[in-house]
Amino acid sequence: MLCVSYQVDERTGIQFAMKLLYFLLSALGLMVCVLAAAFAAYHYLQLIQLTCVTALESCQCKLPSEEPLRRSFVYRDVTDCASVTGTLKLFFLVQMILNLVCGLVCLRACCVMWEHRYQVFYVGVRICSLTPSEDQQQKV
Protein backbone atom coordinates (compact mmCIF):
# COMPACT_ATOMS: atom_id res chain seq x y z
CA MET A 1 0.00 0.00 0.00
CA LEU A 2 2.87 2.35 0.65
CA CYS A 3 4.08 2.00 -2.95
CA VAL A 4 0.85 3.47 -4.33
CA SER A 5 0.77 7.25 -4.41
CA TYR A 6 -2.06 8.51 -2.24
CA GLN A 7 -4.86 10.47 -3.87
CA VAL A 8 -7.79 11.99 -2.07
CA ASP A 9 -11.12 10.12 -2.09
CA GLU A 10 -9.60 6.97 -3.62
CA ARG A 11 -9.65 8.20 -7.18
CA THR A 12 -7.36 5.47 -8.45
CA GLY A 13 -8.48 1.93 -9.03
CA ILE A 14 -5.20 0.49 -7.83
CA GLN A 15 -5.52 2.30 -4.51
CA PHE A 16 -9.00 0.86 -3.98
CA ALA A 17 -7.81 -2.61 -5.02
CA MET A 18 -4.87 -2.48 -2.60
CA LYS A 19 -7.12 -1.44 0.29
CA LEU A 20 -9.63 -4.16 -0.55
CA LEU A 21 -6.87 -6.77 -0.81
CA TYR A 22 -5.40 -5.58 2.52
CA PHE A 23 -8.80 -5.88 4.20
CA LEU A 24 -9.56 -9.30 2.72
CA LEU A 25 -6.14 -10.71 3.63
CA SER A 26 -6.48 -9.35 7.16
CA ALA A 27 -9.92 -10.96 7.49
CA LEU A 28 -8.55 -14.24 6.14
CA GLY A 29 -5.62 -14.05 8.57
CA LEU A 30 -8.06 -13.47 11.43
CA MET A 31 -10.05 -16.58 10.51
CA VAL A 32 -6.93 -18.72 10.13
CA CYS A 33 -5.53 -17.56 13.49
CA VAL A 34 -8.78 -18.27 15.31
CA LEU A 35 -9.01 -21.73 13.73
CA ALA A 36 -5.38 -22.47 14.62
CA ALA A 37 -5.98 -21.40 18.23
CA ALA A 38 -9.08 -23.60 18.40
CA PHE A 39 -7.11 -26.53 16.94
CA ALA A 40 -4.38 -26.13 19.57
CA ALA A 41 -7.00 -25.79 22.34
CA TYR A 42 -8.70 -29.02 21.24
CA HIS A 43 -5.41 -30.91 21.30
CA TYR A 44 -4.52 -29.39 24.67
CA LEU A 45 -7.82 -30.65 26.10
CA GLN A 46 -7.14 -34.12 24.68
CA LEU A 47 -3.64 -34.08 26.15
CA ILE A 48 -5.00 -33.29 29.60
CA GLN A 49 -7.25 -36.37 29.44
CA LEU A 50 -4.42 -38.78 28.57
CA THR A 51 -3.24 -41.36 31.05
CA CYS A 52 0.41 -42.16 30.48
CA VAL A 53 2.52 -45.12 31.63
CA THR A 54 6.28 -45.58 31.24
CA ALA A 55 7.25 -48.99 29.85
CA LEU A 56 10.58 -50.17 28.36
CA GLU A 57 12.03 -46.75 27.51
CA SER A 58 8.80 -45.59 25.95
CA CYS A 59 5.79 -43.67 27.10
CA GLN A 60 2.38 -45.11 26.28
CA CYS A 61 -0.53 -42.69 26.57
CA LYS A 62 -4.20 -43.61 26.19
CA LEU A 63 -7.43 -41.68 26.13
CA PRO A 64 -10.13 -42.57 28.68
CA SER A 65 -12.29 -45.61 27.93
CA GLU A 66 -15.50 -43.57 27.44
CA GLU A 67 -14.05 -41.91 24.33
CA PRO A 68 -15.58 -43.28 21.09
CA LEU A 69 -12.23 -43.17 19.29
CA ARG A 70 -9.96 -44.57 21.95
CA ARG A 71 -6.45 -44.25 20.61
CA SER A 72 -3.08 -44.82 22.16
CA PHE A 73 0.08 -42.81 21.56
CA VAL A 74 3.55 -44.24 21.99
CA TYR A 75 6.58 -42.01 22.49
CA ARG A 76 9.79 -44.00 22.02
CA ASP A 77 13.17 -43.38 23.72
CA VAL A 78 11.56 -41.56 26.63
CA THR A 79 12.39 -42.26 30.25
CA ASP A 80 9.81 -39.95 31.82
CA CYS A 81 6.26 -39.41 30.55
CA ALA A 82 5.88 -36.16 32.47
CA SER A 83 8.59 -34.50 30.38
CA VAL A 84 6.80 -35.37 27.13
CA THR A 85 3.33 -34.36 28.22
CA GLY A 86 4.63 -31.25 30.00
CA THR A 87 6.50 -30.14 26.89
CA LEU A 88 3.47 -30.75 24.69
CA LYS A 89 1.20 -28.83 27.08
CA LEU A 90 3.59 -25.89 27.05
CA PHE A 91 3.82 -26.07 23.25
CA PHE A 92 0.03 -26.00 22.85
CA LEU A 93 -0.38 -23.15 25.33
CA VAL A 94 2.26 -21.04 23.56
CA GLN A 95 0.67 -21.85 20.21
CA MET A 96 -2.78 -20.76 21.46
CA ILE A 97 -1.44 -17.50 22.87
CA LEU A 98 0.56 -16.62 19.76
CA ASN A 99 -2.34 -17.41 17.45
CA LEU A 100 -4.71 -15.30 19.53
CA VAL A 101 -2.24 -12.39 19.49
CA CYS A 102 -1.91 -12.74 15.72
CA GLY A 103 -5.70 -12.84 15.45
CA LEU A 104 -5.95 -9.60 17.45
CA VAL A 105 -3.41 -7.95 15.15
CA CYS A 106 -5.42 -9.03 12.10
CA LEU A 107 -8.63 -7.82 13.72
CA ARG A 108 -7.04 -4.44 14.42
CA ALA A 109 -5.88 -4.23 10.79
CA CYS A 110 -9.45 -4.92 9.63
CA CYS A 111 -10.79 -2.27 12.02
CA VAL A 112 -8.26 0.30 10.82
CA MET A 113 -9.24 -0.24 7.19
CA TRP A 114 -12.95 -0.21 8.04
CA GLU A 115 -12.66 3.00 10.07
CA HIS A 116 -10.56 4.65 7.39
CA ARG A 117 -13.16 3.89 4.75
CA TYR A 118 -16.53 4.11 6.48
CA GLN A 119 -16.20 6.09 9.70
CA VAL A 120 -14.81 9.32 8.33
CA PHE A 121 -17.28 12.15 8.41
CA TYR A 122 -16.56 15.06 6.11
CA VAL A 123 -17.68 18.45 7.28
CA GLY A 124 -18.47 21.05 4.65
CA VAL A 125 -16.85 24.46 4.54
CA ARG A 126 -18.66 26.90 6.78
CA ILE A 127 -20.36 29.54 4.66
CA CYS A 128 -21.10 31.97 7.41
CA SER A 129 -19.43 32.38 10.75
CA LEU A 130 -21.16 32.01 14.10
CA THR A 131 -20.25 35.52 15.25
CA PRO A 132 -21.83 38.46 13.46
CA SER A 133 -19.53 40.29 11.12
CA GLU A 134 -18.84 44.02 11.15
CA ASP A 135 -21.23 44.62 8.23
CA GLN A 136 -24.13 43.05 10.10
CA GLN A 137 -23.34 45.05 13.22
CA GLN A 138 -23.34 48.34 11.31
CA LYS A 139 -26.70 47.67 9.71
CA VAL A 140 -28.42 47.10 13.04
Note down pLDDT in tens along the chain; length 140 residues.
555 555 555 566 777 788 888 889 999 999 999 999 999 999 999 889 888 888 888 888 888 777 677 788 888 888 888 888 899 999 999 999 999 999 999 999 888 877 766 665 444 455 555 555 555 555 54
99 within some domain: yes
Listing DSSP states for 59-127 in one string gives EEEE--TTSSS--EEEEES-S-HHHHHHHHHHHHHHHHHHHHHHHHHHHHHHHHHHHHHHS----PPPS
Q: Give me the domain span that covers residue 61.
A: 11-119
State the DSSP H helix or E strand holding residue 30, giving kind and residue range, or none if neither.
helix 13-49
4 within some domain: no
6 within some domain: no
Number of domains the chain is built from: 1
What whole-number distance in Å separates Cα of residue 25 and Cα of residue 4?
Answer: 18
User: Residue 55: how many CB atoms within 10 A of its CB?
Assistant: 10
131 within some domain: no
86 within some domain: yes
2 within some domain: no
50 within some domain: yes
